Amino acid sequence: MGLAERRAIKEFETNHFPLLKQEIDQAANTEVAVEVKWETLAVENQAHLYDESFTKVYFQPLILALKSICRDSMGQEAILTSLKQIIIQNLNGIYYGDRWADFKEGVLILDHEPTTNIDDVADRTQGLIKVLEKGL
């Protein structure tokens, strides 16, 4: 990871992530532990895309899926009792919305290429909703 990527990640982590974390907690109706493996999100020569791509690839689908799940008291209770942690990473070269989420033993892992299929927010949201509904 070069200097440009480190700067862009630090800027996103400092200036954007706190607000997105608040939106995640609001959507889940509880505070959720979120671990972002920032170093895995770095893509060489793509730092100029991080603000848009991180938000659209990871956070918008997560927030929308949590809002959908928590739309009633049954979903809110399921999230409250079952979701212990969310891990955001890019380790497995995944770039499709139906394969990016895994939920086991209270840990939701979101693993997706950070700058690929950026605008496929709806696909990732639907894929995540299916994984959560099955696991809750």
Torsion of CA 54, 57, 62, 68, to 10 degrees: 140
Residues 65-124: tens digit of each pLDDT: 999 999 999 999 999 999 999 999 999 999 999 999 999 999 999 999 999 999 999 999
Burial tier of 8 (Cβ tally within 10 Å: 0-12, 13-18, 19+): buried
Q: Residues in the chain, how many? A: 136
- What's the domain count of the chain? 1
What range defines the domain where residue 95 resides?
Answer: 3-135
